Structure 1
Amino acid sequence: MITPAFELSQEDDFLIFSIRVPYTRTSEFDLYIDGEDFKFYAKPYFLRLTLPGRIIEDGREKASFDINKGLFTLRVPKETAGQHFEGLEMLTSLLAPRGSKSAKPLVEDLDACSRSEEGEEEDSDDFDWQVEQEVYTESSEQLLNSLQKYGFGNKRSGVFIRLQEELSGVIDVRNPDATTAVERRQGRLSAESAKFDPDHYLADLFEDEAIQNLLKFHPWWTKSCQAQAEQSETENFSEEEREQLRRFTNRSYLLDKKCLHHIWLSLVDIILAYTYEIRTTEGEHSVESSWNIRKLSGTLCWLETYNSIQEVLVSFGRRVLCYPLYRNFSLITAAVHDTALIFQSGKICVLKCLLDIHKIFRENDPAYILNDLYITDYCVWIQRVKSKKVTALAEPLRKAALRKVDLGLELDELEAAAVLAQEEEEGGDLKLAGSTSHSLSRARSNSSGSSEKEESEDSGSEGTDADGPPEPASTRPLIEELGESVEAELSISEPLSNTDREKTKPPGPQGTEAQPHTASTRTLLEVHLHRNPLLIVEASEDTEDD
């Protein structure tokens, strides 16, 4: 946690705390007042003071917060009215916990320390209120000028110097204050290439039933933006949105032409991420909404600055195919169309999108820092721009021709290889099935012809060889045809002799032999599923007649 900058002053009856917490949520402040102990917590800031006098909490205390300055002011009554507190300017001594020593002892009993640690192991999960604190020091102007810029209009720097640990889950840039714009872009492209999963992409490409349903969804702006011409500006906002607007403070921005160009393009990038989130969740925000928006926006995730609409679309398209649940090029096209519709509807529709994003980030920890860096300024700035400048962005978005090859992920080659593999697999199955069916039909025709010929010969020579077994001529053409058509291993097993059959035959009830169930001239065809051979077994003639 971070020790905030603070000052103490006093009046006859009150002690006044001035605590600067610029990067925190205004709705979450925790205070603890008990005599000489004072604790203040507003994530990621924590302040613990040991006061030279006693203060009380009796209902007369008052607190205020200046959003522009990020300054929290608290007036707490003294327990003894008129008492003068000495040493309020000695900030280091105020930060020291009660009973702390100026230096550690030169000799320590290690065994005692280990015994103490073992005894306190059960309480290790409790928060350490006596955590070490350091006095806040302002960064010099020279240091701030040497740092890299980011945020709305690239006007911010030094924000992540002390907040890097707390904000590591919000952005993907490891050290943004020391990372140039070129290095950020190179890092983003490398991370996207490493994250791209061809299997995930192909699965969403060929099994797209859920995605087709998402493409049929009609977002809120398709209805509300069309009705804006019939309503006044105040009627376009809900009561919650109007309350959000009242909380914003008026700000002035000195922006040159180049800076404005970056601002507009970053706005397009943020709205693209928002439209994807709305479509894929069908307008129902979830716990992943904050992650989706900031992850799909290179502006929010990598502090990117863009130079053209095409750069924005390529960046957004790559991130859609690398990070979210649904990774389909049709969703990219739909998001571009939705964004064009939003800008065509004017700044009121754009502002409603920004207010929704602001709410999502405000309710998510620690994504709220992105409101301070980007979204709050966008909400204030967009109200001052001319509507024709907003609507002018719709035309280049409609005319933008984003192709799969532009994304640099070899999508065309990947899809072609997948289609070819699928066709080969299906073609092989059809070829095998067709040739087998054709061979079987030929075998059956040959078998029937041979049978008819055999019957005629048998009728002509009736009585001459009535006792001899008929030749199994009908089975041989079938075996030969299957052997030629099926490209698999064939194994023909020798038929069992009568002696072996008698050995393996189970005894029947009451000492009688079990009757055989196979015909004397039947051929058994057994297919092994794993090796795919054909096992041909000829049953021998029964030795006993019924």
Structure 2
Amino acid sequence: MITPAFELTQDPDFLTIIIKVPYARASEFDVYFEGEDFKFYAKPYFLRLTLPGRIVEDGREKASYNTDKGTFTIQLPKEIPGQYFEGLDMLTSLLAPKKSRSAKPLVEEIGASAELSEEEEEFDWEIEQTPYKESLEGTLALQCHYGFGNLRSGVFQRLQHELGDVIDIKDPDQTPADERRRKRLAAEDAKFEPDHYLADFFEDEAIQHVLKYKPWWVDAHKKMIALQGESHWEQDTHTLVVFSDEEREQLRKFTNKSYLLDKRSRHHVYFGLIDILLAYCYEICVNEGDKNVESPWNIRKLSATLCWLESFTSIHDVLVSFGRRVLCYPLYRHFGLVTRAFNDTVMILQLGKAAVLKCLLDIHKIFMENDPAYILNDLFITDYCIWIQKSKSKKLAALSESLQKTTLSKSHLGFELEELEAAAVLVQEEESMLQATGTVSKQQLPPSELETSDSEESSSTSSSETEGSDSDEQESSASEDGKINPLQGTLQEERTAPLIDCNGLRQGTNTSTVEVSDEKSKVSLQSTSLPGKLIEELEKQMDTAIRLSEQAEGLATAGCIVQEQEENHVSEPDRFSTDTTGKGNFLEVSSKTNPLLFVCSTNEGED
């Protein structure tokens, strides 16, 4: 038999069931309903439902068949007019008949923390059973439990080759819960990168953009707030959560079953639900609702429940774990995203189990399309999708209220984020001050510094020397901006040794400079314009020998020595002058036939 697609709606007096049965014989169908039971048969389709309220047969019932759409529409009167049937969109929970409840749990821990103060649900003893298997002595004690409600064990012993691609913990079947938590915290501490965090903290344009995205639950929550105080019927008319055909089909595929959970296990399940929803909300926000190949990784990596098989004991522990993982693993590591996911999760829980179920179905689809993340569906998501349909709405409301009252700050995460941010802000301010200081022009300097600069310029005795001093000031200004002269950098360690830099060879309007390097001890000629022609012209007019020597301290020193020119070209010099002013030693030689000027400086860092 085939279970057909169906949906249920209601008004104050009637319950309407729409059943899609394409290619069925409309002339041969049977409908049975009494109390909470409903049965429909039209070969090859069969549907049996357990309704959340009672219906009666009083002559007002109606049924019709649409041949074009292939749908039966059956309208059944309610036994109590005006009664509101809750959970009509929980299709999986409606498929199986309601079973009798027999007893409460026989063993219950006394004095356990009760963040959920509602009365406990009764248990259903009719659960799925597995045959007993003999095991070696001591094997049972070594098995650690995990999964939904910590009901699974031994799973990864059969999936060792896929273990590393699904979860971070190694050998979960032999690792107790306390040890898992210690290893998780150590892994997060090792993964945290202050540079990445500070980069997202200061340069957050992309993050601020994704924070503006509004998923579907934002509008649904606004409608719910606007409808507060109105009756269930008005809320039902404005459908807040709508399931797609694909989601309804998936709900029909689930096998309805019950879960035997004690008080501790129920708390683990609720806290794990918060953890999974937080990771899902982060994924939806950063990708603005679009799915990509990284979506399964984001969800399972940010949820310690999925990635480390963690069993939380309080809501605050859930928030701390999620905040730490957001700042350690994904592309965007910003505390604002933690706050946004927190607020979104509160909205989803306040919207009720229909909104929670819709999110879980989306996670189920994301994992189903990814290999090997589908294993997490078998361990967690499928069970959550079935369990949430039978959960009490008042418990979800209490859970959202407890979550909303829980606070999380940066200091709770253990990464010293506030101190890190304060130090980064100080460094940024110092860099800004240095940059502002380096851009001050000569005209903006105090008068005392201007007089010092003028005295340095007045020490030159020729136009070429003045040009040399101007170049010195430009290089000094460049050094203030943080740009270190390569030649000065090589001599920075030996500040006691004199540096001789030969500048100012002048012929006509062309100026050439002799630079001396102490590393390779070579002389290079450079020119500001037409260097090749200038060198050839100088070689024709003079034959100059430049001798390099090293001083006793081991530093290479450049010496500029003017040798005698050829007798048929050079006459006696008309002027020979030196200047030792403390700023530098200047040597000038000139003649009538061959004007030549050398300027030699012995001060370190000056040309």
Is TM more than 0.5 here? yes
Pick closer, same or farther for the CA change 1:389–1:442 going to 2, 3 Å.
Answer: same
Q: Which residue does 2:7 correspond to in 1?
A: none
Q: Which residue does 2:261 correspond to in 1?
A: 255
C-alpha displacement of 1:269: 0.4
Q: Which residue does 1:117 correspond to in 2?
A: none
Q: Which residue does 1:354 correspond to in 2?
A: 360
CA distances 1:141-198 after superposition (whole Å, capped 9, x unpaired):
9634641111111111111121222233101121111100011001111111111112
C-alpha displacement of 1:438: 3.0
| AA partner of residue 210 (structure 1) | A
| AA partner of residue 268 (structure 1) | I
> Are residues 1:365 and 2:394 paired?
no
Q: Which residue does 1:188 correspond to in 2?
A: 184
Q: Which shows bigger deviation, 305-314 or 215-224?
A: 215-224
**2:463 & 2:373 partners in 1: Cα distance?**
88
Pick aligned residue for 1:318 from 313, 319, 324: 324
Unpaired segments of 5 or more residues in structure 2?
1-131, 225-234, 489-498, 515-524, 526-530, 541-582, 595-607
8 A contact 2:368–2:374 mirrored in 1: yes
| AA partner of residue 188 (structure 1) | R
> Are residues 1:154 and 2:146 paired?
no
**1:273 & 1:348 partners in 2: Cα distance?**
19
Q: Normalising by structure 1, what TM-score?
A: 0.59
> Are residues 1:221 and 2:217 paired?
yes
Pick closer, same or farther for the CA change 1:486–1:497 going to 2, 3 Å.
Answer: closer
**2:206 & 2:153 partners in 1: Cα distance?**
43
2:185 is paired with a residue whose SS is helix
> Are residues 1:176 and 2:182 paired?
no
Pick aligned residue for 2:159 from 156, 159, 163: 163
Q: Normalising by structure 2, what TM-score?
A: 0.54
Q: Which residue does 1:203 correspond to in 2?
A: 199
C-alpha displacement of 1:502: 13
**1:218 & 1:344 partners in 2: Cα distance?**
17
8 A contact 1:444–1:478 mirrored in 2: no
Pick aligned residue for 1:300 from 261, 286, 306: 306
8 A contact 1:343–1:394 mirrored in 2: yes
Pick aligned residue for 1:333 from 327, 336, 339: 339
Unpaired segments of 5 or more residues in structure 1?
1-136, 452-467, 515-533
Compare the two structures and name the one with the higher helix fraction.
Answer: 1
**2:426 & 2:143 partners in 1: Cα distance?**
52
Q: Which shows bigger deviation, 480-489 or 430-439?
A: 480-489
> Are residues 1:344 and 2:353 paired?
no
C-alpha displacement of 1:401: 1.9
Q: Which residue does 1:264 correspond to in 2?
A: 270
Pick closer, same or farther for the CA change 1:253–1:497 going to 2, 3 Å.
Answer: closer
Pick aligned residue for 2:418 from 412, 416, 434: 412
C-alpha displacement of 1:400: 2.3
Pick aligned residue for 1:242 from 245, 248, 253: 248
**2:513 & 2:474 partners in 1: Cα distance?**
33
8 A contact 1:497–1:540 mirrored in 2: no
C-alpha displacement of 1:434: 3.5
Q: Alignment length, in residue pairs?
A: 378
| AA partner of residue 167 (structure 2) | I
Q: Which shows bigger deviation, 219-228 or 148-157?
A: 219-228
**2:195 & 2:369 partners in 1: Cα distance?**
34
**1:319 & 1:335 partners in 2: Cα distance?**
13
**1:270 & 1:187 partners in 2: Cα distance?**
20
Pick closer, same or farther for the CA change 1:326–1:543 going to 2, 3 Å.
Answer: farther
2:440 is paired with a residue whose SS is helix
Pick closer, same or farther for the CA change 1:265–1:423 going to 2, 3 Å.
Answer: same
| AA partner of residue 140 (structure 1) | S
**1:371 & 1:502 partners in 2: Cα distance?**
76
Pick closer, same or farther for the CA change 1:536–1:207 going to 2, 3 Å.
Answer: farther
8 A contact 2:220–2:241 mirrored in 1: no
C-alpha displacement of 1:416: 2.2
Pick closer, same or farther for the CA change 1:444–1:194 going to 2, 3 Å.
Answer: closer
Q: Counterparts of 1:475-486 in structure 2 under 5 Å?
A: none
Q: Which residue does 1:395 correspond to in 2?
A: 401
8 A contact 1:261–1:307 mirrored in 2: yes
8 A contact 2:468–2:503 mirrored in 1: no
**2:588 & 2:288 partners in 1: Cα distance?**
66
1:312 is paired with a residue whose SS is helix
C-alpha displacement of 1:252: 1.1
1:258 is paired with a residue whose SS is helix
C-alpha displacement of 1:417: 2.3
**1:413 & 1:172 partners in 2: Cα distance?**
30
**1:471 & 1:512 partners in 2: Cα distance?**
17
